[in-house]
Each structure stands twice: as structure tokens, then as C-alpha cells.
Structure 1
Amino acid sequence: MSLDKILSIGGKPGLYRLLTQTRTGFVAESLLDKKRVSVGAHNNVSVLSEIAIYTLEEELPLRQVFQKIQVKEKGGKTSVGHKAEKIVLEEYFFEILPNYDEDRVYASDIKKVIQWYNLLHDNGIADFSDDEENSSEEE
């Protein structure tokens, strides 16, 4: 399953798999507990394939950050937990992405990236390749 079917819903923990669209929103299934939720248009929803991390040169798609973590961890889960101290999280992220913008990428963002990667790994979603050429380069 590709990242364009995986959602982050504001105010709800974890990640969700898009199941179907409805007239007023959509139905999603939690990757944490497999419970289904109905999400309306008023919720703040982000599709993982649309999220990017700031670097000093550009915005790097989350898919590529996940690929870098996967290479570092040899396909396994992260060696650092998302609840680690701020300095540990920043050191880990610096190993993965040495040119990330420290002024615009916060410890809370790093926590989310690590938590999301591990959650995707637990659910067998490990193909972070760019299946479709949707390089939306906005300048």
C-alpha cells in the first residue's frame, strides 16, 4: 500500500488507512487498533504522500525520509523510540538527514516521523518507493 492512502488525522493518535469516501468526508481505519472512524470535512487531515521535511536546500518528501530510515535500520524498526529525549531524537535525525533545517523541523516533528515509520513497519507497509511520478515541485 502506498503512502497516498495513509492519513494523519488532527486530534487523533496514530495513522489511518483510507477505506472509502462518503458524501460528507470519508471512512478510515486506524493502523493502531483497526477501528473504523468516520471523518468529516471539518477535520484536519494530512495525506502522508503530501508531507515533506524542510532541509537547507529543499523540501524532502516524507517518502524519501522513510527510505533513508529504512536504509539506516536495514529494513527494521528505528533504534531510537519516539519518546526518547529531544537531544537523542535530534542526533538520530541528523544521522538520517544531515542537512535538515533545525530551525523549522522541531523535536515534535521528529517524534512523529519516527512513530509513523515504526507504525508503518508494524503494519507491513515498507515500500516507500515513488510509484507514480507526482513530483509536485512548487516554488
Structure 2
Amino acid sequence: MSLDKILSIGGRPGLFKLVTQTRSGFVAESLLDGKRISVSLSNNVSVLSEIAIYTLDEELPLREVFQKIKDKENGGKTSIGHKEEKIKLEEYFFEVLPNYDEDRVYASDIKKIIQWYNLLIAQGLNDFSETDEEDSLEEE
């Protein structure tokens, strides 16, 4: 499953998988406990494939950041937890992405990225290559 079906919902912990759309929003399934919830269109929802991280040169898609973490960790979970001290999180992220913009990427962002990465790996979702849609566009 690609990152375009994985959601972050404001005010709710963890990540969610898009199940189906409804008239007033959609149904999502938690990757933490498998429970399904109904989400209205008024909720703050982010699709992981649409998130990018600021670097000094450009905005790097989140999937590429996940791929860099995966390469560093040889496909396993991160060597540090998301609850580490701010300085440890920043040092780790600097190893993964040396040119990230320290003024615009906060420790809270790094925590989320590490937490999301570990959750995706735990769920067996470790293919961070481009989505099928992007692949088909490149072929044309």
C-alpha cells in the first residue's frame, strides 16, 4: 500500500488507512489498533504522500525521507525512539537528512516522522517508492 492511502488525522494518535468515502467524509482504520472511525470533512486530515520536509534546497517528499531512514536502519525500526530529547532527535535527523532546514523543521516534526516511520514498519508497510500513479506518469 502506498502512502496516498495513509492519513494523519489532527487530534488523533497514530496513522490511519483510508477505507472508503462517505457522503459526509470517510471511514478510516487505525494502524495502531485496527478500529474504524468515521471522519468528517471538517477534521484536519493530511495524506502522507502530500507531506514534504523543508531542506535548504527544496521540499523533499516524506516518502523520500522515509526511504533515507530505511536505508540508514537497513529496513528496520529507528535506533532512537520518538520520545528522546530534542538534541538527540535533531542529531539523528541530521544523520538521515544533513541538509534539512533547522529553522523550519521542528523537534515535534522529527518526533512525528520517527513515530510514523516506526508504525509503518511495524505494520509491514515498508515500500516507500513512488506511487503507482507517479510511475505511470513517468512512463508516458
TM-score of the aligned structures, taking structure 2 as reference length: 0.94
Q: Which runs of 5+ in 1 are unaligned?
A: 135-139
Distance in 2 (alpha carbons) for counterparts of 1:133 and 1:77: 27
3-state DSSP of counterpart to 1:27: strand
| Structure 2 residue matching 1:133: 3-state secondary structure | helix
The letter of the residue matching 2:73 is E
Residue 137 of structure 1 corresponds to which residue in structure 2? none
1:45-60 correspondence to structure 2 within 5 Å: 45-60=45-60
Deviations 1:76-115 (A, max 9, x none): 0000100000000000000000000000000000000000
**Which amino acid in structure 2 is aligned with residue 99 of structure 1?**
N
Please, which runs of 5 or more residues in structure 2 have no aligned partner? Answer: 136-140
Superposition map of 1:1-139 within 5 A: 1-131=1-131, 132-133=133-134
Deviation at 1:71, TM superposition (A): 0.2
C-alpha deviation, 1:18, in angstroms: 0.2
Aligned letter for 2:74? Answer: K
User: Whose helix fraction is larger, Structure 1's or Structure 2's?
Assistant: 2
Q: Which amino acid aligns with 2:120?
A: L
Partner Cα distance (2:21, 2:45) in 1: 13
Q: Percent identity?
A: 79
Q: Distance in 1 between matches of 2:123 and 2:84?
A: 22
SS for the counterpart of 1:18 is strand
C-alpha separation in 2, matches of 1:55 and 1:65:
11
CA-CA distance at 1:73 after TM superposition: 0.1
User: How many angstroms does 1:133 deviate by?
Assistant: 2.0
> How far 1:122 moved relative to its partner?
0.5
Give, in angstroms, the shift of residue 56 of structure 1. Answer: 0.3
- Deviation, structure 1 residue 70: 0.2
Partner of 2:134: helix, strand, or coil? coil
Q: In 1, distance between residues paired with 2:19 and 2:102?
A: 36
Amino acid at match of 1:92: Y
